[in-house]
Amino acid sequence: MKTLLADFHIHSLLSPCAEVEMTPHHLMLRAAAAGIGALALTDHNASANLPALIRLQEKYPVKVFPGMEVECKEEAHLVVLFDKMHQMAAWQQQVDKALSGRLNQPEKLGAQFVVDEKDNLVREEPRMLLGPLTLTAAEVVAAVNKLGGLCFAAHVDRPAYSLLMSLGFLPPELGLAAAEISRNSLAELQEQKLKARVGNLPYVTNSDAHWMQAFLDGPKNRITVRELTIKELRLALAGKEGRSWQAGVFIDN
């Protein structure tokens, strides 16, 4: 078994709301220096900066899970994770078909940059990545699970972009693996006031970082797994067979 810190909700400069310092190389450099053992890059409805981040695993001892923050039809956010890029590529095809079709407005919403592993500019994404897909939450979760991925409801404690606030509760049959609590509501990890409404799903905590200091200062998860795979993450969330998942951990804990 191995125990490590992990952050599964981070944005790069492909997300229009993220700072330009959030490049793949800068992220991996700072993650390795801070002792973070695993992360997921989760840009809004996009995955184009993942190849650069994954190539950097050869240089830095940080496991990268292909991820994405999806905005479903209910205007709520879900984080999806996969083991392999071919799974993400298949999911990205479904996302592309469900995008609004609008063009981005960089002067208003922010630019969307794709870069390589040396942080050189490759292109600017012209499509508007922000905004809801035409896929419902149930359709997102079902499709991701079918591809072998894992899906959790993002920042369920927030008033906006929260699936819990949109639906009022998270149905067990939805197929979510966990519910994410934001930094502003870490007391919920002990108080458990929302637990019944989230269907007793396990809690996870991540930085949801859009700038570097937020990444370094934000909450992480201390996980114990045999290997870094989606299957093992599911076992850790369930606390099975010696695996474990502790939310609300910080780098200096």
The predicted pLDDT at position 146 comes to: 98
Give the global pTM. 0.97
What residue spans define the domains of the chain? 2-249
What does the pLDDT look like over 131-159, one tens digit per residue?
Answer: 999 999 999 999 999 999 999 999 999 99
Number of Cβ within 10 Å of residue 138's Cβ equals: 15
For residue 156, the Cα-to-chain-centroid distance in whole angstroms is: 13
Contact 52, 116 (CB under 8 A): yes
Shortest CA distance to 151 belongs to which of 126, 119, 174, 184?
Answer: 174
The predicted pLDDT at position 252 comes to: 87
Question: How would you classify residue 35: left for phi > 0, otherwise alpha for psi between -120 and 50, otherwise beta?
Answer: left
Is domain 2-249 in CATH 3.20.20.140, yes or no?
yes
Task: List, run by run, the mean pLDDT of 10-residue segments along the chain (253 residues).
Answer: 98 98 98 98 98 98 98 98 98 97 95 97 98 98 98 97 97 97 97 97 98 98 98 98 98 85
